[in-house]
Structure 1
């Protein structure tokens, strides 16, 4: 039986980043994907994802700063442009009574200041002067960060897989992992049982997202996860030029207890928008891959208020899958009773962090420790929620 230093289960964004980062460190790496590469069954397909440092928890801002460095390293090594910096705003409508659980502009500005990230705090009028497309209530607050932008999702995953192979990683698609079995004895390690045979590795990284608990169950471990089908919609504006990068930012909006987000045009004359975490609950086996007309109507109504002077035509809606922890915290680290098995979960807002999470997973697997602060991301998550605004 061929033995590997690191085996990675799941080759979405986190898993692909891990095989790249581990292989470039000189480890002998194998990765398993239960579907075909670039599949649509998880959360790493389609075109765009938001990249940003603006978060309401300092630890995420610090991790995002590290992620930007890793994105630049990936682009430089691969010779491929993956990020498009557009600038971005977080909109707070202030249309609900303030409460201890509601996210506030000051949460964001405090986290950014703690990490020395430049930002602008704008009034609604100042924001509308800069981006007249927006329709904002007069009491809205707006946090602008110039480093916000877009990562090309499918291209980024493909690039990380390609770079992993250039460093000797073996990547297997259409290879379902049936079980991971920790070994006893002086050598320890883990057996990875698949439909195509059994493999051995010193460390195994589970980047299986919604399928994580199926692999953890035989080990007596369960991470509380809500699995849901989410959807994004592409709208055709009557005037696409008004929404080109440079004329319109990436945006996130907190309103009436819900979170919406969207993009300027990116590769086509459409703008993409969605509601975050709509709680359209269904397991991978229950997924319909058909969008919810009710959620589409809700989004279309919201967009009509966000850009009221621009007619939008709904063109297509694409579904994806979320696996969310109760407080939306990441889960990163080894199992307490089986330290050779390491879990990486992004809780539905991890794509922007993928290159640095891959490095964290690689460092844990190869060195047993990481240079990043992941102290709040234990298994199972035990810290109080630090994060209200997540995408």
Structure 2
């Protein structure tokens, strides 16, 4: 006999844990299914730190960040945990950068977000750890912050459970079908009927959606972050060093020390395509990726030290690097959330919006740009661009 609940959430990384929390806090009965253990390190919601920032390339994205800051504050209030560490952030554009700085300044201007433009010499005077050419354009955004990845996800899971959600690890979905008035989800251990389903399975989204004959054009890459040990960690601590993003191709990003005396950095979209199912056992370090990052960091932040450890994670990328927050066309009781490998900052918000869509069919926030029937996801010849 099938279990009967209001909603099922498939995939309990950051977005799914948030959706389960928001649905349960509204009084709905919720089952959350996770293919692996809760808090596992096979996806994209583990490890320590992620960037929360207002600076983005379109006004719509900047407006979304306003909601993100409010929803992180909501999660802090609900959980009683301090989750947002404000450090300020720099977007660094070399001459002829592949990412146009005008898109960022125009978008922040349109939404009245404060920022300051400066050159490389200005940056070095304010934050002596940097070494930059004078003609680098830097956009300083004082509200940029660090949010914790694994701990933030766990906080949303704890809130979901507090409100009555049933979170079930080690439950792979082996069936997803529409039935009269709802959807039926099958795992090796149970059959669950629900009024709607939220699929936030990221690299495994097509494994779930394939039961409906649905396929999203996704590429999964195997990324790597590395931690470096400076001789003088104080020079790289919050207050002495902000968050930073190198806005070119290749693009890099990094953090001040956070929770330990190391500096974390990585290349954005620098890893090879990978089948997520092929990742078994310990993840080997990619020495070429680490050496390339070490050289770049040595030039940008002299004294940042030698690498002490690296961690691997998955990026699940749409062709246009935009999100998916959408009902499945023709299967509107199934709603998909995909973060395109830059969504952790939006996790508390996206869970709320996905809860809106699965319960009411719409949201007060305009999600048209993130529909599954947009050209980037339906036109096989659509240009692929991952720089944001």
User: How has the CA–CA distance of structure 1 residues 2 and 197 changed in structure 2, closer, same or farther, with 3 Å as cutoff?
Assistant: closer
Match of 1:71 in 2: 72
CA separation in 2, counterparts of 1:386 and 1:210?
18
Aligned equivalent of 2:138, options 112, 130, 142: 142
Find the partner of 1:370 among 355, 359, 363: 363
**Residues 172-321 of structure 1 aligned to structure 2 (within 5 Å):** 172-183=168-179, 185=180, 188-255=181-248, 257-287=249-279, 289-308=283-302, 310-321=303-314
Establish whether residue 105 from structure 1 lines up as the match of residue 101 from structure 2.
Answer: yes
The residue number in structure 1 matching 2:57 is: 56
* Per-residue deviation, 1:382: 2.1
Counterpart CA distance in 2 for 1:154 and 1:246 is: 24
After superposition, residues 154-165 of structure 1 pair within 5 angstroms as 154-165=150-161
Q: Deviations for 1:142-178, whole angstroms, at most 9, x for unmatched residues?
A: 0111110101111111110111111111110111111
Residue 67 of structure 1 deviates from its aligned partner by: 0.8
Deviations 1:25-55 (A, max 9, x none): 1111110011111100000001101111111
The answer to which of 203-212 and 273-282 deviates more is: 273-282
Match of 1:120 in 2: 116
| Alignment deviations for residues 58-82 of structure 1 (CA, whole Å, 9 cap, x no partner) | 1111111101101000101110011
The change in CA–CA distance for 1:49 and 1:125 in structure 2 (over 3 A counts) is same
Is the alpha carbon distance of 1:224 and 1:388 closer, same or farther for their aligned partners in structure 2, counting shifts above 3 Å?
closer
Classify the secondary structure of the residue corresponding to 1:34.
coil
Q: After the TM superposition, which parts of structure 1 deviate over 6 Å for at least 4 consecutive aligned residues?
A: 384-388
Does 2:367 correspond to 1:379? no
What is the TM-score of this pair, normalised by structure 2? Answer: 0.95
Residue 311 of structure 1: how far off its partner (Å): 4.8
Q: Is the 8 A contact 1:34 1:176 kept in 2?
A: yes
Q: Distance in 2 between matches of 1:311 and 1:66?
A: 34
CA RMSD of aligned residues (A): 1.6
Tell me, yes or no, if the aligned pair for 2:177 and 2:185 is still in contact at 8 Å: yes
Larger mean Cα displacement after TM superposition, 372-381 or 234-243? 372-381
Cα deviation 1:171-228 (Å, max 9, x = unaligned): 1011111121111x3xx21001001110011000000000011122232211111111
Cα deviation per residue 1:124-148 (whole Å; 9 max; x = unaligned)?
1111111111111121100111110
Pair 387,82 (structure 1): closer, same or farther in 2 beyond 3 Å: farther
Greater Cα offset, 373-382 or 259-268? 373-382
1:323 to 313, 316, 328: 316
Q: Is the 8 A contact 2:218 2:318 kept in 1?
A: yes
Contact 1:207–1:344 (Cα < 8 Å) also in 2: yes
Q: Residue 366 of structure 2: SS of its match in structure 1?
A: coil
Name the residue aligned to 2:347.
Answer: 354
Between the aligned partners of 1:307 and 1:169, the Cα distance in structure 2 is 45
Q: Specify which of 333, 338, 349 is matched with residue 340 of structure 1.
A: 333
Contact 2:238 2:257 in 1 (8 A): yes
| Gap runs ≥5 in structure 1 | none
In structure 2, relative to structure 1, the CA distance for the partners of 1:318 and 1:294 (3 Å cut) is same
Asked if structure 2 preserves the Cα contact closer than 8 Å seen for 1:328 and 1:385, the reply is: no
TM-score by length of 1: 0.94
> How many pairs are equivalent?
380
> Is 143-152 or 380-389 further displaced after alignment?
380-389
In structure 2, list runs of 5 or more residues that go unmatched: 377-381
Partner SS state of residue 205, structure 1: strand
Deviations 1:56-112 (A, max 9, x none): 111111111101101000101110011101000000112x4x6xxx31221111111
SS of match in other structure, 2:75: helix
Output the CA distance in 2 between the equivalents of 1:374 and 1:137.
Answer: 40
